[in-house]
């Protein structure tokens, strides 16, 4: 399988690359991204074959059909990282909460968020690829709260790898911040940034594309890569759990094989939604992908009107901080798939130059064939959390945004999968507030919700509050590069 570029080729880079090259050097021509030339066929035979398969077996067969240039031995070791999840036999439980509504719980990994599903195996593959080449890499990650902890967890103490993780100071939950700043492995650096997530992600993209920065790294014998969903190594693993969740509904007799479902995805940077889109395009029976946002509803505007306009918008900090994003990287891959490289480059250049772009009527119609979107306020999310707590199900504020999409966007009452991207423990003060007990302290909120709702707090969360803070640096955006070079 070859990987090509979303904005076309500049004549300086190869016109196509293998998977290993795309993940080690994820910055493509003209600031674009890498995408596969084709997708494997998820036909009925493939789905029937895996109706009784373990998650790891499904993953390995899917990766084999992709034809990536990673050895079977490395891939087997990579997916064995799922053995560290709560239930190695079922790393992604799918739980029924309404007659036709099911929650795919993607948060049962090491850092209690869906990013573990991709980063645990991807991090292992990237590390082994670097070691096989005898090369040293700086892995950069910008996080709105979940990518950072998962990236640090997968790469800690890995040979040939150093990690610099950027997070917006004040823009994550306390648990998310502690998961990062208490990491003590010598190959990790965590940097708080004065600004929001868009600021940190923009800084990361600029450094990834900076020839001066790459030359400074080269002088130190270091190459540059990224762990955000700009890296297709993340996306390839995010396709798999959509297939698994569909098969779970068949196993539970909620649907018959071949029956189409709705998928509801809470979306910020659009990687999770992109995984669903690729699964649908590859043949998974999906009616439509319903996008749930918070009041930073740029994705809702784009999908409803075809206009992506951030020229007069300020990012709003909400109770669902992983979706506090105005520039969603992975819409570029969807637009490339639908409109081609030349048009994608035009649209992305408009966004970079004017902070807006607009699709044609025909392009919008094509987008709406696969997507619909809505958004929820913090107050609406709290009401959802409270309502389902009374039914015995505790969810985090990102998952709560999905219910409005489930209730208002479906064109028919078809079985629906909601994707739960984080455990409630990462946002305990919001959950506690929704249940009627408002506190500022995560420690108090965790204890109160656990006692009153009868849900346990995993040891890896409780232990955070006893660990020393290792990384206490917070810098201005323009000082990020210098701080990274000091680390190296």
Instruction: State the DSSP string of 270-289.
Output: SHHHHHHHHHHHHT--EEEE
115-119, 320-324, 334-338, 400-404: lowest mean pLDDT where? 320-324
Task: Say how far apart CA 124 and CA 388 lie, in whole Å.
Answer: 37
SS3 of residue 262 by DSSP: strand
SS3 of residue 152 by DSSP: helix
Query: pLDDT category, 131, cuts 50, 70, 90?
Result: very high
Query: pLDDT category, 198, cuts 50, 70, 90?
Result: confident
Task: Say how far apart CA 372 and CA 368 lie, in whole Å.
Answer: 6
Would residue 271 count as lying in a domain?
Answer: yes
Query: pLDDT category, 178, cuts 50, 70, 90?
Result: very high
Task: Say how far apart CA 163 and CA 160 lie, in whole Å.
Answer: 10
Task: Say how far apart CA 182 and CA 198 lie, in whole Å.
Answer: 24
Would residue 243 count as lying in a domain?
Answer: yes
Task: Say how far apart CA 105 and CA 64 lie, in whole Å.
Answer: 25
Residue-level pLDDT at 242: 98
Q: What mean pLDDT is predicted for residues 100-117?
A: 97
Would residue 442 count as lying in a domain?
Answer: yes
Give 392: exposed, middle or buried? Use CB within 10 Å, 0-12, 13-18, 19+: exposed
Residue-level pLDDT at 183: 96
Q: Under 8 Å CB-to-CB from 292, ≥6 apart: which residues?
A: 264, 265, 266, 267, 373, 374, 375, 376, 401, 402, 404, 405
Would residue 153 count as lying in a domain?
Answer: no
> Domain count of the chain?
1
Would residue 345 count as lying in a domain?
Answer: yes
Q: Is the pLDDT of residue 232 over 90?
A: yes
Q: What mean pLDDT is predicted for residues 202-217?
A: 86
Query: pLDDT category, 316, cuts 50, 70, 90?
Result: very high
Q: Under 8 Å CB-to-CB from 294, ≥6 apart: which residues?
A: 318, 319, 320, 323, 324, 375, 376, 377, 378, 381, 401
Beta strands in 175-324 (DSSP E): 188-193, 222-226, 261-266, 286-293, 307-309
Task: Say how far apart CA 287 and CA 180 lie, in whole Å.
Answer: 38
Would residue 398 count as lying in a domain?
Answer: yes
Q: Is the pLDDT of residue 302 over 90?
A: yes
Query: pLDDT category, 172, cuts 50, 70, 90?
Result: confident
Q: Is the pLDDT of residue 384 over 90?
A: yes
Query: pLDDT category, 62, cuts 50, 70, 90?
Result: very high
Task: Say how far apart CA 338 and CA 323 lie, in whole Å.
Answer: 24
Tens digit of pLDDT for each residue in 406-458? Answer: 999 999 999 999 999 999 999 999 999 999 999 988 999 999 999 999 999 99
Domain that holds residue 304: 79-110+233-465
State the number of CA atoms in the 13 A half-sphere of 248 facing the CB.
23
Tens digit of pLDDT for each residue in 82-97? Answer: 999 999 999 999 999 9
Would residue 103 count as lying in a domain?
Answer: yes
Mean pLDDT of the chain: 95
Q: Is the pLDDT of residue 474 over 90?
A: yes
Could you say which DSSP state residue 17 is in? B
The more confident residue out of 230 and 239 is 239
Q: What mean pLDDT is predicted for residues 354-368?
A: 98
Of all residues in the chain, the percent with pLDDT exceeding 90 is: 87
Q: What CATH code is carried by the domain that includes residue 254?
A: 3.40.50.1100
Residue-level pLDDT at 199: 84
Residue-level pLDDT at 146: 86
Residue-level pLDDT at 208: 80
pTM of the model: 0.94
Q: Please name the residue ranges forming H helices in 289-441.
A: 298-305, 331-339, 341-354, 361-368, 378-390, 397-400, 402-408, 428-434
Q: What mean pLDDT is predicted for residues 175-185?
A: 95
Tens digit of pLDDT for each residue in 283-301? Answer: 999 999 999 999 999 999 9
Query: pLDDT category, 27, cuts 50, 70, 90?
Result: confident
State the number of CA atoms in the 13 A half-sphere of 387 facing the CB.
13
Would residue 335 count as lying in a domain?
Answer: yes
Tens digit of pLDDT for each residue in 398-407? Answer: 999 999 999 9
Give 230: exposed, middle or buried? Use CB within 10 Å, 0-12, 13-18, 19+: buried
């Amino acid at each position: 399988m070859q990987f090509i570029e979303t904005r076309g080729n500049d004549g300086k880079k190869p016109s196509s690359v293998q998977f290993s090259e795309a993940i080690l050097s994820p910055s493509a021509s003209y600031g674009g991204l890498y995408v596969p030339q084709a997708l494997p066929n998820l036909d009925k035979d493939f789905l029937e074959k895996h109706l009784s398969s373990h998650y790891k077996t499904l993953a390995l067969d899917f990766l084999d059909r992709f034809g990536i240039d990673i050895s079977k031995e490395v891939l087997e070791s990579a997916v064995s990282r799922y053995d560290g999840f709560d239930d190695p036999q079922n790393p992604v439980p799918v739980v029924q909460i309404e007659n036709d509504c099911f929650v795919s719980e993607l948060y049962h990994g090491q850092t209690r968020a869906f990013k573990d599903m991709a980063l645990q195996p991807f991090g292992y593959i990237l590390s082994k690829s670097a070691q096989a080449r005898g090369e040293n890499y700086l892995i950069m990650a910008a996080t709105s709260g979940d990518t950072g902890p998962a990236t640090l967890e997968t790469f800690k103490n890995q040979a040939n790898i150093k990690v610099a993780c950027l997070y917006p100071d004040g823009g994550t939950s306390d648990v998310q911040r502690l998961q990062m700043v208490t990491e003590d492995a010598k190959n990790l650096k965590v940097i708080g940034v004065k600004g929001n997530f868009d600021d940190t992600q923009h800084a990361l993209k600029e450094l990834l594309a900076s020839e001066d920065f790459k030359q400074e790294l080269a002088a130190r014998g270091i190459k540059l890569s990224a762990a955000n969903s700009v890296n297709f190594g993340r996306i390839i693993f995010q396709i798999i759990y959509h297939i698994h969740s569909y098969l779970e509904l068949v196993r539970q007799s909620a649907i018959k094989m071949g029956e189409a479902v709705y998928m509801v995805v809470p979306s910020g940077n659009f990687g999770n939604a992109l995984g669903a889109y690729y699964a649908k395009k590859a043949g998974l029976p999906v009616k439509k992908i319903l996008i749930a946002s918070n009041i930073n509803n740029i994705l809702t505007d784009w999908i409803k009107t075809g206009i992506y306009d951030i020229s007069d918008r300020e990012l709003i900090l909400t109770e669902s901080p992983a979706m506090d994003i105005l520039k969603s990287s992975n819409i570029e891959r969807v637009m490339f798939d639908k409109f081609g490289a030349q048009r994608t480059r035009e649209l992305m250049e408009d966004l970079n130059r004017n902070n807006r772009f607009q699709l044609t009527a025909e392009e919008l119609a094509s987008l709406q064939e696969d997507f619909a979107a809505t958004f929820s306020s913090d107050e609406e999310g709290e009401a959802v959390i409270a309502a389902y707590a009374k039914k015995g199900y505790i969810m985090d504020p990102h998952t709560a945004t999905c219910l409005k999409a489930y209730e208002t966007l479906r064109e028919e009452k078809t079985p629906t999968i909601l994707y739960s991207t984080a455990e409630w423990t990462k946002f305990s003060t919001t959950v506690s507030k929704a249940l009627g007990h408002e506190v500022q302290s995560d420690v108090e909120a965790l204890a109160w919700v656990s006692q009153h709702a009868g849900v346990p707090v995993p040891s890896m969360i409780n232990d955070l509050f006893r660990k020393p803070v290792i990384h206490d640096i917070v810098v201005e955006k323009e000082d990020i590069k210098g701080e990274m070079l000091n680390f190296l």
